[in-house]
Amino acid sequence: MSKSYRVAILGATGAVGTELLELLESRNFPLADLKLLASERSAGKTLKFKGENLVIEAVSDRSFANVDIVLASAGGGTSKTWAGVAVDKGAVVIDNSSAFRMNPDVPLIVPEVNPQAAAEHKGIIANPNCTTILMTLAVWPLHQVKPVTRIVAATYQSASGAGAKAMEEVKIQSSAILQGQQPVAEVLPYPLAFNLFPHNSPMTDIGYCEEELKMVNETRKIFGSQDIRITATCVRVPVLRAHSEAINLEFDTPFSPDEARAILSNAPGVKLVEDWQKNYFPMPIEASGKDEVLVGRIRQDISHPCGLELWLCGDQIRKGAALNAIQIAELLVEKNLLQNG
pLDDT, residue 341, reads: 61
Summary mean pLDDT of the chain:
97
Active site residue 313: no
DSSP annotation of 40 reads G
On the question of pLDDT at 41 being above 70, the answer is yes
- Is pLDDT at 195 greater than 80 in this prediction? yes
Q: Is 116 annotated as a binding residue?
A: no
Task: Tell me the per-residue pLDDT of 110-122, one tens digit each, with 9 for 90 and over.
Answer: 999 999 999 999 9
Q: Radius of gyration of the chain from Cα atoms?
A: 20
Model confidence at 160: pLDDT above 90: yes
What is the pLDDT at residue 2?
63
The confidence score (pLDDT) of residue 339 equals 82
According to the model, what pLDDT value does residue 186 have?
98
* Residue 243 annotated as catalytic: yes
Spatial contact of 249 and 310, defined as CB atoms under 8 Å apart: yes
Are 40 and 58 contacting, i.e. CB atoms less than 8 angstroms apart? yes
The whole-number pLDDT of residue 134 equals 98
Which residues, in sequence order, are CB contacts of 339 under 8 Å at separation 6+?
68, 87, 90, 91, 92, 123
Instruction: Give me the phi and psi of 18, to 5 degrees please.
Output: -70, -30
Q: 9: Cβ–Cβ under 8 A, 6 or more apart, which residues?
A: 17, 20, 21, 34, 35, 36, 37, 70, 71, 73
Q: Cα(91)–Cα(332) distance, rounded to whole angstroms?
A: 12
Percent helix, strand, coil in the chain (nearest 5)?
35, 25, 40
Is 157 annotated in a binding site? The answer is yes
Alpha carbon distances (Å) from 133 to 49, 190, 247: 27, 26, 13
Distances (CA, A) of 269 to 109, 172, 272, 278, 315: 14, 33, 10, 25, 12
Q: In 89-195, which residue ranges form alpha helices assigned H by DSSP? A: 130-145, 164-178
pLDDT in tens, 4-22: 999 999 999 999 999 999 9
Q: What is the mean pLDDT of residues 165-191?
A: 98
CATH number of 5-127+321-335: 3.40.50.720
The domain covering 132-158+196-314 belongs, at the CATH homologous superfamily level, to Dihydrodipicolinate Reductase; domain 2 (3.30.360.10)
- How crowded is residue 252: how many other Cβ atoms within 10 Å of its Cβ? 10
150 annotated among ligand-binding-site residues = no
C-alpha to C-alpha distances, 211 to 129, 153, 222, 275, nearest whole angstrom:
8, 12, 16, 32
Annotated catalytic residue: which of 121, 143, 199, 243?
243
Is 220 annotated among the ligand-binding residues? no
Longest pairwise C-alpha distance within the chain: 60
Is the model's pLDDT at 1 over the cut of 60? no
Q: Is 58 annotated as a binding residue?
A: no
Q: What is the DSSP string of 162-173?
A: G-HHHHHHHHHH
Q: Any known ligand binding at 14?
A: yes
List the strands of the sheet with 229-236, edge to edge: 197-198, 229-236, 148-157, 242-251, 307-315, 293-300, 270-272
Report pLDDT digits (tens) over 64-99. Answer: 999 999 999 999 999 999 999 999 999 999 999 999
Task: For residues 153-181, give the mean pLDDT.
Answer: 97
- The ranges of the chain annotated as CATH 3.40.50.720 are 5-127+321-335
For 78, the 3-state DSSP assignment is helix
The CATH 3.30.360.10 portion of the chain extends over 132-158+196-314
Does residue 212 carry a pLDDT above 50?
yes
Is 212 assigned to a binding site?
A: no
The answer to whether the annotation marks 316 as part of a ligand binding site is yes
State the amino acid at position 166 in one-letter form. Answer: A
Catalytic residue of the set 121, 130, 143, 313: 130
Looking at residues 307-322, what average pLDDT do you find?
98
Q: Are 123 and 105 in contact (CB under 8 A)?
A: no
